[in-house]
Structure 1
Amino acid sequence: MEAMMEDLGVIVENERDRRTLRWLIDTVGRDAIREAIQRIPGNRRPYVSNVAKVLGVTPPKSLEIADRETALRHIDAIRRQLANKSVF
């Protein structure tokens, strides 16, 4: 699925964007996403949120919440960063 998402030209910055783009693909389809990118007004870039706005859809709130595995990976990464900080 990741390789299939890359060819759309949508900017995906984090896991939430990835979940939202998957939802957009399932909801409106790849062709609609490509067409929406062409209709983004002004100098705006094709971020997931801009594509959703052009399509006139609002992703469900449930996409904001990471699954347990993803959340635990983030917590572990934060702990590692904090452990590497030197104390004055």
Structure 2
Amino acid sequence: MGKINCNYEDEITCPHCGYKDTDSWETQESGETSCNSCSKKFHVEIEHSTTYSSSCGEDDNACDFVDQPTENHPDYQECSRCENTHFK
């Protein structure tokens, strides 16, 4: 068996057998756990990532909306500065 990628994954991955736990979201704290497939113990570290979104403002007049019609949404507009969207 080759090297198992178990760092920065979307699911808890067993470093012993490679099993991916599809219920990883249920794990609330870092610590020792055991694999649901091979039963071997290993340590899990939960890592969080924060992202931010911003716009010109909540007032539609703060944005510079320009028409960006699509086939399904002819009234679609997007701000030329912040990409905030709305329908006119």
Larger Cα-atom Rg:
2
**What TM-score does the superposition give when structure 2 sets the normalisation length?**
0.25
Higher helix share: 1
More relative contact order in 1 or in 2 (CA 8 Å, sep 6+)?
Answer: 1
**What TM-score does the superposition give when structure 1 sets the normalisation length?**
0.25
Higher strand share: 2
